[in-house]
Amino acid sequence: MGFGRVKGLRPRRWRQALAGLLLVGMALPAQAASLAAFGDSYSDNGRSHMLAERARRLGMPGVEPITPAAQGYYRHRWSNGPTAVEVLAARSGMQLKDMAVGGALTGASNYFPWFDSVTPSGLLAQVNDYLDRHAAPRNAFVFASANDFFFRVLDQQADPQRVAEAAAHNVRLAMERLIAGGTRRVMVVGAFDLTLLPRVRRDTAVPAANAYMQRFDDRLRESVARLDRRDGVRISYFDLRSALTDIRHQAVSLGFSDLVHPCLAGDDGTLCPNPDAHLLWDAYHPTRRVHQLLGRRMAEQARQALGWEAATEHVRSVE
């Protein structure tokens, strides 16, 4: 999320210069299975920071600070703690290979223009980059859609349902490319509830957000139905909006006291005294506590639907 036009794809020479970019992952035993994650800031565990620093060193114009630690962001995540996919990977006993980049659109590009000056970092570009440098992962996690709404609908005033159709198509392409390469287990995540976010409410964009989310999720479910169980492939759709609704309905028992206001608020980044009591960390992202609850729920669903085994080792260090 941010401002400015997304630039075109970077020249081939940047691709060659960055071929050795390291994947950010959690340290697990060498024999552990791996999970490759593709998406945006809801799953990014530090890759956007690496790309922004590289853009700054290369003298790219307009590079802005990413998740400053002084404001409570956790180790270059876009929240105050590990992301849901990190919790999922730890609870499934998997080594996480995280390609997600904050601001990623579902296509090739990014909301933030300087990322595309270094490397294409949209969802499809992440998948292509991974497959260019690695064998296809057996297990994959795919989660992107919010930035298409922010960029195409809110910024460019495009029709929300048409944008949703295109975004869902891109997510399907990402899954198809992974499956064609050999991926056999996929968790794909539905739309984040955009109506919870201050910008959407402030811009009176709730009707547009509802139209976008419903169309996106409908098309994504259709894609899952077509691709699941073909050639030994299993795909599990995670209904994120329903999960967030459940959290809100259980707010008191889960320790939440503020479901509306971000913990980190105001132009000066005023930090609340108890982040775990808030649903939102900043204007766009959930708190560590929400990521934790979502990751646990994802892990249980993946265990039942995808056969990802439950693990207890390394979970405490993540949660």
**Looking at the 3D structure of the chain, how many domains does it have?**
1
Domain that holds residue 111: 30-240+291-305
Report d(CA 53, CA 111) in Å as an integer: 17
Report d(CA 13, CA 251) in Å as an integer: 50
Helix, strand, coil fractions of the chain, as percent rounded to 5: 45, 10, 40
The answer on pLDDT for 313 being more than 70 is no
Place of tokens 């995670």: 238
Report d(CA 165, CA 43) in Å as an integer: 22
- Virtual torsion, Cα 85, 90, 92, 95, nearest 10 deg: 90
Confidence band, pLDDT 50/70/90 cuts, at residue 24: very low
157-161: long-range contacts (C-beta < 8 A, 24 or more apart)? 160/208, 160/209, 160/211, 160/212, 160/215, 161/211, 161/212, 161/215
Quote the pLDDT of residue 84.
Answer: 99
Confidence band, pLDDT 50/70/90 cuts, at residue 160: very high
Q: What is the pTM of this model?
A: 0.88
Whether 68 is in a domain gets the answer yes
Q: Nearest-CA neighbor of 140 among 165, 169, 105, 176?
A: 176
Q: Determine the length of the chain.
A: 319
Report d(CA 267, CA 319) in Å as an integer: 29
Quote the pLDDT of residue 71.
Answer: 83
> What are the backbone angles phi and psi of residue 235, rounded to the nearest 5°?
-125, 130
* Contact criterion met (CB below 8 Å) for 125 and 21: no
Whether 274 is in a domain gets the answer no
Whether 225 is in a domain gets the answer yes
Q: Nearest-CA neighbor of 41 among 33, 49, 32, 30?
A: 49
Written as one letter, the residue type at 194 is: L
3-class state of residue 37 by DSSP: strand
The answer on pLDDT for 230 being more than 90 is no
Report d(CA 284, CA 294) in Å as an integer: 16
Q: What confidence tens digit (pLDDT) does each residue in 261-312 have?
A: 999 987 667 899 999 999 999 999 999 999 999 999 999 999 999 999 876 6
Whether 280 is in a domain gets the answer no
What angle in degrees, to the nearest 10, is found between the helix axes of 288-306 and 240-249?
130
The answer on pLDDT for 42 being more than 70 is yes
Confidence band, pLDDT 50/70/90 cuts, at residue 47: very high
pLDDT exceeding 90 applies to what percent of the chain? 73
Report d(CA 252, CA 153) in Å as an integer: 34
Whether 153 is in a domain gets the answer yes
Query: What's the whole-number average pLDDT of the chain?
Result: 88
Report d(CA 131, CA 38) in Å as an integer: 12
Whether 256 is in a domain gets the answer no
Range of weakest confidence among 63-67, 154-158, 179-183, 243-247: 63-67
Whether 246 is in a domain gets the answer no
Q: What confidence tens digit (pLDDT) does each residue in 108-129 have?
A: 999 998 888 888 999 999 999 9
Confidence band, pLDDT 50/70/90 cuts, at residue 70: low
Quote the pLDDT of residue 1.
Answer: 52
- Supply the CATH number for residue 131's domain: 3.40.50.1110
Whether 125 is in a domain gets the answer yes
